[in-house]
Amino acid sequence: MSEGIIHDLLSGELDSKLDQIQEAIKERRKLLRATKAASSMLSLKVGDRVSLHGLSPKKINGMEGKVISKQRTRVLVDMGMDSGYGQITVPAQCLNKVEVTDEQEVTSR
């Protein structure tokens, strides 16, 4: 990160542009979310194990499930009968693919 920009913000040199800076940050974050969602959608396949993050209620973050289907930027995930959540639809960017070892694959059958 450029120390010059931070210094200029903190010193007040950019006060006249704060609204523009705020709007630029908002647009940049929107673009980053869309890019992450697109990347997630491309990397996920039906049947993949995934872990959840960035969701509410927070207690479901870290839980794992299985991809059932994909719809635009959202993914239907089967959380399992014991989770108390069943099947839930979540934004693709809130999922991380869980690598399953051969041993885990055999025991889950």
Q: How many domains does the chain have?
A: 1
Check residue 102 and give its pLDDT.
Answer: 61
Query: For 68-84, what is each residue's pLDDT tens digit?
Result: 999 888 999 999 988 88
Q: Which domain holds residue 82?
A: 3-107
Query: For 95-105, what is each residue's pLDDT tens digit?
Result: 999 987 765 55
Exposed/middle/buried for residue 57 (C-beta within 10 Å: 0-12, 13-18, 19+): exposed
pLDDT > 60? residue 108: no
Cα separation, 84 vs 75, whole angstroms: 18
Across the chain, mean pLDDT equals 88
Cα separation, 42 vs 65, whole angstroms: 18
Identity (one letter) of the amino acid at 48? D
Query: For 6-36, what is each residue's pLDDT tens digit?
Result: 999 999 999 999 999 999 999 999 999 888 8
Q: Domain containing 58 — which CATH number?
A: 2.30.30.30
Cα separation, 90 vs 34, whole angstroms: 14
Which are the contacts of 38, defined by CB distance < 8 A and separation ≥ 6?
73
Instruction: Report the predicted TM-score, pTM, of the whole model to 2 decimal places.
Output: 0.66
